[in-house]
Amino acid sequence: MTTYKGINGFAVQSVASDPSPSDEGQVWYNNVSTVWKLSTLTTSGSWATVANVNTTRSQAGTAGDGNTAVIAFGGSTGPTYLNSTEVFNGTSWTTSPATLSTARVAYGGTGTATAAITASGLQAGGGAPNDYATVSQTFNGSAWTSTPSLNTGRREANGTNGSQTAAIVIGGYGAPDVALTNVESWNGSSWTSVTSMGTAGYAVGSAGTNTASIAFGGATTAGGNLSKTESYNGSSWTTLNSLNTARRKLGGAGTQTNALAYGGYTGGDVDNVESWNGTSWTNTTSMPAAKGRIDGNSNTATGCLAVSGNNTSETNTVFSWTGPGAYVTKTITTS
């Protein structure tokens, strides 16, 4: 007689709290809620509103590998630049004692919640271009540490991909007040200028690693929104199919072949979301509300956060994305 264990390799467990689903078809009994549950894969993506950040912030940096372990840092509340850091554990945000060395806005971050890197931004002092930052710092889960600086100061270099030891900063806005094509790569000890993008852009969305990146959207020097998509293989950039909606200040998550573009600014904040399959962009489930100046970056397109943001009115709201192919828990019913 065929058994559940014989098919799946493990027996049905009786547990007091649901485990993190890790195998499609895994079944267990929750002896507190007295229901049977199973793990399954999502077939379409969805957004949910989760806990607000403690400090309303816009144009902050974020880092995290998914939507349950994320940090948000810096940004601004009104005219005030921030250096504070908050940590999300999948349920709530906690303000960390760790602070950035320089309060700043409009920059990117990448890595995980315990091994992140951030570089560039807009800092107070002197006026442009003196306030276009070259500062770079790493985070170990408890403190920020200064590292060697970027070669080119810039702000709105939201296209920051990779890990704490192998990252890339794409484009941005620099002196003398122009959108940049400049790209810099981080090897864990220094920043090096590498092959420039084909089209200058700032406030671009991005996804991937330092040798397999994709950059999309953004804006030109004159502020015109871009729909362009370019990919980077570690040595050169290639133009690919464009976004359906041209925009800047958008969130990006995922890999070079499986990415998500969400929110942004087209002249007003938008809730548009598009998914990338390595060839083309497809419109998918919109966010619960429009968000521009998105603070969002993740190494996976099946889970990411859209943190605060907004051009027209700042907000502390956070949206969480669970994409196609992610494991979710469902309750087994008889209906």
Question: pLDDT per position in the chain (335 positions), as tens?
Answer: 655 555 555 578 888 888 876 666 788 888 888 888 887 777 789 999 999 999 999 899 999 989 999 999 999 998 899 999 999 999 999 999 999 999 999 998 999 999 999 999 999 876 666 789 999 999 999 999 999 999 999 999 989 999 999 999 999 999 888 999 999 999 999 999 999 999 999 999 999 999 999 999 999 999 999 999 999 999 999 999 999 999 999 999 999 999 999 999 999 999 999 999 999 999 999 999 999 888 777 889 999 999 988 776 788 999 999 998 777 787 888 75
Q: In what order do the strands lie in the sheet containing 318-322?
A: 46-50, 318-322, 303-307
Phi then psi for residue 6, to 5 deg, are -65, -30
Of 263, 275, 253, which Cα lies nearest the Cα of 62?
Answer: 253
Has domain 46-322 been given CATH number 3.30.43.10?
Answer: no
243 with 251: CB under 8 angstroms?
Answer: no
328 bridge partner residues: 40
144 bridge partner residues: 139
241 with 194: CB under 8 angstroms?
Answer: no
C-alpha separations of 281 from 5, 79, 238, 320 in Å: 41, 36, 16, 20
One-letter amino acid for residue 160 of the chain: T
Give the pTM: 0.89
Write out the residue limits of the CATH 2.120.10.80 domain(s) in the chain.
46-322
Contacts of 248 (CB under 8 A, 6+ apart): 201, 202, 203, 204, 217, 218, 219, 225, 226, 264, 265
Q: State how far the Cα of 147 lies from the Cα of 109, in Å rounded to an integer.
A: 14
